[in-house]
Structure 1
Amino acid sequence: MKFIPTYPSKVKTLKKQAKRLQREGAGSHVALLDRIAQSAGYDHWNHVIQCLDETEKTVSVRGIIAEIEAIVIAELAGEVRIVRTGPEATRTQPFVLFSTGIGDAWMLEPLHDRAVCLVWRGKRQSPQVRDLPSRIEIMWDGTFELRGQFFVVETEHPEIGSRAIAGFPLDQLRPFLEALRPIARKIGDVFGQEDAVALTPDVIAQLSKSGWEREQLELAARQGALYSPTRNTVLFSPAVED
């Protein structure tokens, strides 16, 4: 059977034609659906439904790809933009895409904290989006978490790896993520949050800009200390006596 682009409006029109013929006594509804379908170039009514499903999947893939491209273009132009995908982009669950204006852009799946990088340090990435028979599949890089002012990721991306990144528009991003998460998840995030991050060179650089002494932070990092964004303090592990 050949593929014919088929939209809900067309299916609705064909159904109305079949009902009109049925009212005129032209035959059973099932037989008339096949007859109308054939007059429109389809093999039978099930062919119409199959083409409708295939069209919706194609539109979904094109929709999410268009959203990705729009965010990439915004980032390369130095713009901050945050969007939530709508039903025209994905029929399953919404995603959040954002550009930072400082060289990075990401797509997030808020329910399971999955992430894929779209732009890294000004360089366009190549996320894999596949059209499978029953769903759209995105090859996620890894997971993400918001800890205070830091966007913390654990990825398999060879250039990114696991790190805490500062400078992202997290105050604007948080409402988008919270709106898509169930209430139980939000409560768990509040009461079970572990917000300490490692004192990596990126974190130290960001803290130095806000008034911390770089030398002290570097010394603390060598001693295995962590930084807590919510308490704005450096945490040392308790000393263990022999």
Structure 2
Amino acid sequence: MKFIPTSTHIVEEIKKQAKKLQRKNGGKHTDLLEQAAKQKGYLHWHHVTQCAKHTEQLGISSLSAECFYVIQKVKRGENVIIMTGPETAKIPFILFGCNNDVWLFEPKENTAACLMLQGETLPLQFIEENHQQIKIEWDSSLAEITEFFLFILDSETNQEKGYAYPTDILEALANVLMRAKNIKL
């Protein structure tokens, strides 16, 4: 099941939406909670409660929450480059989003994972985290950044693939990655 960082505010919004639907159309409250949850991108109401519980356990500064935040910004058409701070993890991660794609990088190891490609969000099942540690099953590595392309090497196929992004965005990404590599732990 896909994890979606879920605040108590979001849970309350879904409950309010279910009540609105009940006032407007009638129906069983539990069925309307299911409907309202699906409208917000959840699988069902129980998915909402599970995600809210998991979010509470992880905290607002979890890597999963950061990933979800960047995905939402990119879906709104924004370009994003974020280096996580020590409140998320001891080592910095880089989140990069542009042109409906979102990537997660670990700069010291040059590893990469795609979070969203051409507007389609991919499940974050490769990230396991709790208050003590973050485990990531990386499936790719950063091969190269050129003037026009971000080249990613797929670990399974050992093939490189290029992704085109604006030059200024790629330059900014290269600078942030370099800065993150130089951070002393």
Provide TM-score, normalisation by structure 1.
0.45
The count of corresponding residues between Structure 1 and Structure 2 is 122
Q: How does 1:5-16 map to 2 (within 5 A)?
A: none
Conserved 8 A contact 1:61-1:89:
no
Query: CA RMSD for the aligned pairs?
Result: 2.5
Which protein has the larger Cα radius of gyration, Structure 1 or Structure 2? 1
Q: Which residue of 1 aligns with 2:62?
A: 63
What is the CA distance between 1:112 and its match in structure 2? Answer: 1.0
Aligned match of 1:150: 149
Q: 1:137 aligns with which of 135, 146, 149?
A: 135
Verify the 8 A CA contact 1:97 1:105 in the aligned structure 2: yes
1:165-186 Cα deviation digits (max 9, x unpaired): 1125211212211111239xxx
What's the offset of the Cα at 1:132? Answer: 6.4
Q: Please, which runs of 5 or more residues in structure 2 have no aligned partner? A: 1-56
Q: Secondary structure at the match of 1:140?
A: coil
- Equivalence for 2:22: none
Question: Where does structure 1 lack aligned partners over 5 or more consecutive residues?
Answer: 1-57, 184-242
Alignment equivalent of 2:164, drawn from 163, 166, 170? 166
Give every structure 1 segment of 4 or more consecutive aligned residues whose post-TM-superposition deviation is greater than 2 Å. Answer: 58-62, 131-135
The range that moved more, 122-131 or 63-72, is 122-131
Q: TM-score, normalised to structure 2's length? A: 0.58
| CA deviation profile, 1:11-52 (whole Å, cap 9, x unmatched) | xxxxxxxxxxxxxxxxxxxxxxxxxxxxxxxxxxxxxxxxxx
Tell me which amino acid in the other structure corresponds to 1:83: I
Alignment-mate amino acid for residue 161 of structure 2: R
Does the residue aligned with 2:63 lie in a helix, a strand or coil? Answer: helix
Q: Which residue of 1 aligns with 2:122?
A: 125
Match of 1:5 in 2: none
Q: Secondary structure at the match of 2:62?
A: helix
Match of 2:54 in 1: none
Question: What CA deviation, in whole Å up to 9, does each residue of 1:73-97 have, x standing for no partner?
Answer: 011111101111112211x201000
Please tell me whether the aligned partners of residues 98 and 105 of structure 1 are also in contact (alpha carbons under 8 angstroms): yes
Q: Partner of 1:165: helix, strand, or coil? A: strand
CA distance in 2, matches of 1:153, 1:132: 28
